Amino acid sequence: MGPCIVLACQLARARPDSVIVTIPVAGEFQTMVDKEIDRCLSSEEKDLKQNFHVINLGGKGRDAVKLVPIILGGFESFYSSLHALAPIKCATGHVHNFERAPDVVVADVVMLDGLHTIRKLSQHNVPILSLHPASLGPAMRLIGPEDLGGIGFIEPKAKELAEKTGKLYDEAELEVKHDTRGISQTTETALEGDFIEDANSNA
């Protein structure tokens, strides 16, 4: 989350009169984000903190495995309120008010499901930028081709699973995304192929 905060602070610093940053968090992520904002802003820039809305959607602790689903689960309600300029009540009790709907969204790969909400409400009027400062492994698995260890095209697989099992499409889609069968073998095969190709090219 650190690189996202650094980017947000740079944007607010560049256009302090027009850039408003809204960040949904959960649990102790709020304290961590607040500290990171304070760290990024100099003592002369502390007034810029009023340009930030850090909104806690609930949860406790700092275990990302437990907190990320809370953010994802509450994202549709959060973004719907933001889009409609409705007040949003933080888990701390503070009420955030907005004068302008989002102009752009910066998201990492864990927000893939949330992007559907953005597109549904904002259509293509709000650009979505992907910031991926971490390992490309998770992204490759989620959106990469099957021959490199990725899931491949999720929608047809989810539809087929839903038809076979009678599950709802959303349940089937989640099951496809969480299917770990064949990851190691496929990835090892891809890596071995790359290694052999590199070795031959250097021979």
Supply the CATH classification number for the domain 2-134: 3.40.50
Q: For residue 78, what are the CA distances in angstroms to 17, 37, 69, 84, 89? A: 24, 21, 14, 10, 9
Domain positions in the chain are 2-134, 139-196
Q: Which residues contact 190 (CB under 8 A, 6 or more apart)?
A: 147, 148, 149
167-169-174 Cα angle (round to 5): 90
For residue 62, the SS3 value is: coil
pLDDT at 197: 43
Q: How far apart are CA 58 and CA 145, in angstroms?
A: 35
DSSP assignment string, 152-199: --HHHHHHHHHHHH---HHHHHHHHHH--TTHHHHHHHHHHHHHHHHH
Contact indicator for 53, 22 with CB cutoff of 8 Å:
yes
- Residue 144 CB: number of other CB atoms within 10 A? 17
Nearest one of 67, 49, 47 to 8, comparing CA atoms: 49
Render each residue's pLDDT in the chain as its tens digit; 203 residues. Answer: 678 899 999 999 999 999 999 999 999 999 999 999 999 999 899 899 999 999 999 999 888 778 888 998 899 999 999 999 999 999 999 999 999 999 999 987 667 778 888 988 988 889 988 877 666 776 677 777 888 778 888 889 999 999 999 999 988 988 888 777 655 444 444 444 443 344 444 44
